[in-house]
Amino acid sequence: MEKDCSNESQDRTWHTSVAGPEDGHIVLLVHGFPLSKRLWDQIIGPLGDAGYRVIAPDLRGFGDSEPASAFSLGDLAGDLQCVLRDVGQWDGRRRVTYIGLSMGGYIAFEFYRRFGHQLHSLVLMDTRAEADTPEAAEGRRAAAQKVLDTGHAGLVADDMLDKLFGPSASPALKQEWYDIMSGTSPITVAAALCAMADRPDSYSMLPSISCPTLVMVGRDDAITPPEGAGHMQQAIGSNANLCVIETSGHMTPVEQPEACANALISWLESL
Ligand code: MLT
């Protein structure tokens, strides 16, 4: 069974999709930028049916959340603790599986720094561990300013849309996500761009990741390509596996939902 629930804590309402048995192993699904929990709509059901307690929140400012300004990726990692506790009735003792796509992967590294002992396993999906280059960070800050000046989040959606999807994605799927991205509030888009520009390098900490880790990537991911995913898996070491999903770009859970869900379930069951 899948349901949408909202819970309040620290003056914030968490809009979260939840599925699976309450006593199941907790799997936290963390979306990318400037996306929403709808990224996981077709993954939540199969994981819940496989017996996992699935928790997929809208991050601060995204999806159905209130617009949010001036946050860091560390703040978003802290929010995920609140979501686990308040929505997942998590007691802090059971360890969880964290699955993050792209910016959700950047937040995974912050989560690992702060709460690594709470992780049972980790999926780094269509993401990278390196910080932005100075030029890329500057570009993000300039884009943030432009979005704030114009009040138009669609500027970012215009720029990203073609890079997000592989060549086989349908125009309808791209339009659906264009609408979601451009519907994100400009202040949230600007805050997240600055948070990503400010994020530290996490590549050097990859060898210290000791939990089972799956690095998953779409074969045609133009933003975080398979070559980089392979390097990330090798840097983590023998506890990491690499899974390349065919006929998918950066948006693997919506471009190839069945292959993505099957690969996640087989890997989780192998642990
Ligand atoms: C995402 O999907 O979260 C973004 O592509 C991340 C980024 O802009 O680096």
190 belongs to a structural domain:
no
Tell me, yes or no, whether 27 lies in a domain: yes
In a domain, 14, yes or no: yes
Tell me, yes or no, whether 192 lies in a domain: no
Mean of the per-residue pLDDT values of the chain:
94
46 or 89, which is more confident: 46
In 40-138, the DSSP E strands lie at: 53-57, 96-101, 119-125
Question: Cα separation of 35 and 103, whole Å?
Answer: 10
Alpha carbon of 93 to ligand 1 centroid (Å)? 31
Tell me if 183 is assigned to some domain: no
Q: Which two tokens stand for residue 38?
A: 């709808």
Q: Does residue 64 form part of some domain? A: yes
Please tell me whether residue 124 adopts helix, strand or coil conformation.
Answer: strand
Helix (H) or strand (E) run with residue 243 in it: strand 240-245
| Residue 119 and residue 211 in contact, taking contact as beta carbons nearer than 8 Å | yes
| 174 within 8 A of 166, measured Cβ to Cβ | no
What is the span of the domain harbouring residue 265?
Answer: 2-131+200-270
CATH number (domain holding residue 109):
3.40.50.1820
State the distance from the centre of ligand 1 to the C-alpha of 102, rounded, in angstroms.
5
Ligand 1 atom closest to the Cα of residue 33 is 3
Look up the pTM and report it: 0.95
Query: What pLDDT digit, counting tens, does each position of 5-52 carry?
Result: 555 555 678 899 999 999 999 999 999 999 999 999 999 999 999 999
Closest to 104 (Cα-Cα) out of 257, 250, 211:
250
- 185 within domain boundaries: no
Q: Is the dihedral of CA 215, 209, 97, 131 positive or negative?
A: negative
Q: How many domains does the chain have?
A: 1
Which atom of ligand 1 is closest in space to residue 31's alpha carbon?
A: 3
- Whether 29 is covered by a domain: the verdict is yes
